[in-house]
Amino acid sequence: MNYRGWMGILSIAVLSTGWLASGNLQAAANGSDGYSLEDFDLNTADDLLDVCSLESGHPEHNIAMAFCYGFFEGATHYDDALADSGRSSDIVCNPAGVTRTQAVAAFVQYMQTNPQYGVEPPIDAIFRALVAKWPCAE
C-alpha cells in the first residue's frame, strides 16, 4: 500500500477514535438547527449537510466537522483510487492547494442552492457539488 493509502487509513482511524472516545456526543432529537445524532447515519445528502454546516457555537461542532472532513477525505481517496486504477479519470479536477474546508464550503453552498438533491446518497451529492465547482476538462 502506498503512502497516500496509509495516510488515508490513519486519518480515518484518528477521526473515528476521537469521535468514539468523546463522552459528550449528545444531540437533541428535534434540534432547531436540523442537526440530530441520526444525521451521522448519513442516509441522505441532507444528513451530511446538517453535519457539515453545524454552527461553530454548537457543543458538537468539532465532532461534526471531524466526521464531515473524514467523509470528504474518504471521497477524495475514492476519486484518487479510480483515477490511479487507469480505468477511469478523475471525477473532480480541483486546482492545487484546495483544502477540505474549501471543498466542504463548496458542498454546503451547492446544497443550500440546490435542495432538490438533498434526498440523494451523500457521496453522489458531494461529487455533484464538487464537479459543479471544479469540473474536469473533457
- The 10s digit of each residue's pLDDT in 8-27 is 554 554 444 444 434 333 43
- Assess if residue 29 is contained within a domain: no
Rounded CA gap, 27 and 54, in Å? 12
Distance CA 52, CA 107 (A): 9
In a domain, 58, yes or no: yes
Number of domains in the chain: 1
Provide the H-helix boundaries in 2-138: 3-21, 45-52, 61-84, 100-113, 122-133
Residue 35, pLDDT score:
62
Residue 28 lies in a domain: no
Question: Quick check: helix, strand or coil at residue 119?
Answer: helix
Residue 44 located in a structural domain: yes
Decide if 118 is inside a domain: yes
In a domain, 18, yes or no: yes
Q: Which pTM does this prediction carry?
A: 0.71
- Classify residue 70: in a domain, yes or no: yes
Q: Give the pLDDT confidence score for residue 94 in this predicted structure.
A: 82
Which pLDDT score is estimated for 19? 44
